[in-house]
Amino acid sequence: QVRLVESGGGLVQAGGSLRLSCAASGGTFSFDAMGWFRQAPGKEREFVASIRWSGGTTSYVDSVKGRFTISRDNAENTVYLQMNSLKPEDTATYYCAARNIFTMTYDRWGQGTQVTVSS
Protein backbone atom coordinates (compact mmCIF):
# COMPACT_ATOMS: atom_id res chain seq x y z
CA GLN A 1 0.00 0.00 0.00
CA VAL A 2 1.53 3.27 -1.15
CA ARG A 3 1.73 5.94 1.54
CA LEU A 4 2.49 9.57 0.76
CA VAL A 5 3.45 12.13 3.38
CA GLU A 6 3.81 15.80 2.51
CA SER A 7 5.67 18.43 4.44
CA GLY A 8 7.02 21.94 4.02
CA GLY A 9 3.93 24.10 3.80
CA GLY A 10 3.54 27.33 5.73
CA LEU A 11 2.92 31.05 5.62
CA VAL A 12 5.09 33.23 3.40
CA GLN A 13 4.95 36.74 2.02
CA ALA A 14 4.40 37.37 -1.65
CA GLY A 15 7.65 36.98 -3.53
CA GLY A 16 8.95 34.43 -1.07
CA SER A 17 9.80 30.77 -1.47
CA LEU A 18 8.82 27.42 -0.01
CA ARG A 19 9.85 23.88 -0.72
CA LEU A 20 7.37 21.05 -0.37
CA SER A 21 8.43 17.45 0.11
CA CYS A 22 6.53 14.24 -0.49
CA ALA A 23 7.93 11.00 0.88
CA ALA A 24 6.57 7.80 -0.62
CA SER A 25 6.66 4.37 0.96
CA GLY A 26 5.20 0.94 0.34
CA GLY A 27 4.53 -0.41 -3.14
CA THR A 28 6.43 2.30 -4.94
CA PHE A 29 6.98 -0.08 -7.86
CA SER A 30 3.31 0.31 -8.76
CA PHE A 31 3.48 3.90 -9.90
CA ASP A 32 5.47 5.63 -12.63
CA ALA A 33 5.06 9.31 -11.84
CA MET A 34 4.35 11.72 -9.04
CA GLY A 35 2.28 14.84 -9.21
CA TRP A 36 1.52 17.91 -7.17
CA PHE A 37 -2.01 19.26 -7.11
CA ARG A 38 -3.58 22.12 -5.19
CA GLN A 39 -7.02 23.15 -4.06
CA ALA A 40 -7.98 26.63 -2.96
CA PRO A 41 -11.13 27.29 -0.92
CA GLY A 42 -14.21 27.14 -3.12
CA LYS A 43 -12.27 25.90 -6.12
CA GLU A 44 -11.68 22.54 -7.73
CA ARG A 45 -8.44 20.69 -7.28
CA GLU A 46 -6.01 21.55 -10.06
CA PHE A 47 -2.88 19.97 -11.45
CA VAL A 48 0.34 21.85 -10.66
CA ALA A 49 3.27 19.70 -11.77
CA SER A 50 4.38 16.14 -12.37
CA ILE A 51 7.56 14.16 -12.80
CA ARG A 52 8.26 10.66 -14.01
CA TRP A 53 10.43 8.47 -11.83
CA SER A 54 12.27 7.12 -14.85
CA GLY A 55 13.81 9.80 -17.01
CA GLY A 56 12.54 12.69 -14.94
CA THR A 57 10.20 14.16 -17.57
CA THR A 58 8.35 17.08 -16.03
CA SER A 59 5.13 18.92 -16.75
CA TYR A 60 3.70 22.14 -15.29
CA VAL A 61 0.52 24.12 -15.37
CA ASP A 62 1.10 27.40 -17.20
CA SER A 63 0.49 29.55 -14.13
CA VAL A 64 3.57 28.18 -12.32
CA LYS A 65 6.01 27.78 -15.20
CA GLY A 66 9.25 29.60 -14.47
CA ARG A 67 8.42 29.85 -10.76
CA PHE A 68 7.98 26.25 -9.55
CA THR A 69 10.34 23.34 -10.04
CA ILE A 70 9.50 19.70 -9.40
CA SER A 71 12.32 17.26 -8.72
CA ARG A 72 12.83 13.79 -7.33
CA ASP A 73 15.25 11.73 -5.32
CA ASN A 74 14.80 8.16 -6.49
CA ALA A 75 16.97 6.73 -3.74
CA GLU A 76 14.81 8.36 -1.08
CA ASN A 77 11.50 7.94 -2.93
CA THR A 78 10.91 11.62 -2.35
CA VAL A 79 9.55 14.30 -4.63
CA TYR A 80 10.00 18.01 -4.09
CA LEU A 81 8.24 21.13 -5.27
CA GLN A 82 10.39 24.24 -5.08
CA MET A 83 8.12 27.27 -5.21
CA ASN A 84 9.66 30.67 -5.88
CA SER A 85 8.17 34.10 -6.49
CA LEU A 86 5.04 33.03 -4.69
CA LYS A 87 1.84 34.96 -5.26
CA PRO A 88 -1.30 35.26 -3.12
CA GLU A 89 -3.16 33.24 -5.75
CA ASP A 90 -0.85 30.31 -4.99
CA THR A 91 -2.56 29.98 -1.62
CA ALA A 92 -4.06 26.51 -1.39
CA THR A 93 -3.75 23.10 0.13
CA TYR A 94 -1.12 21.22 -1.83
CA TYR A 95 -1.36 17.48 -2.33
CA CYS A 96 1.10 15.02 -3.78
CA ALA A 97 -0.20 12.03 -5.65
CA ALA A 98 1.15 8.86 -7.23
CA ARG A 99 0.17 7.80 -10.72
CA ASN A 100 -0.69 4.13 -11.05
CA ILE A 101 1.47 2.51 -13.71
CA PHE A 102 -1.37 0.22 -14.82
CA THR A 103 -4.31 2.63 -14.92
CA MET A 104 -2.29 5.82 -15.56
CA THR A 105 -4.43 7.64 -13.04
CA TYR A 106 -3.45 9.34 -9.80
CA ASP A 107 -5.00 7.03 -7.26
CA ARG A 108 -2.88 7.53 -4.17
CA TRP A 109 -2.92 10.85 -2.36
CA GLY A 110 -1.20 12.45 0.57
CA GLN A 111 -2.99 14.28 3.34
CA GLY A 112 -2.13 17.72 2.01
CA THR A 113 -0.08 20.62 3.29
CA GLN A 114 -1.28 24.20 3.54
CA VAL A 115 0.50 27.01 1.69
CA THR A 116 -0.58 30.56 2.46
CA VAL A 117 0.90 33.54 0.65
CA SER A 118 0.20 36.93 2.13
CA SER A 119 0.14 40.09 0.06
Q: Are 61 and 46 in contact (CB under 8 A)?
A: yes
Q: What is residue 74's three-state secondary structure?
A: helix
Q: Are 4 and 96 in contact (CB under 8 A)?
A: yes
Predicted confidence (pLDDT) per residue in 33-75, tens digit: 999 999 999 999 999 999 998 889 999 999 999 999 999 998 8
Mean of the per-residue pLDDT values for the chain? Answer: 95
pLDDT for 30: 83
Q: Where are the alpha helices (DSSP H) in the chain?
A: none
- Mean pLDDT (whole number) for 87-116: 96
pLDDT band at 14 (very low <50, low <70, confident <90, very high): very high
* Chain centre distance of CA 76: 16
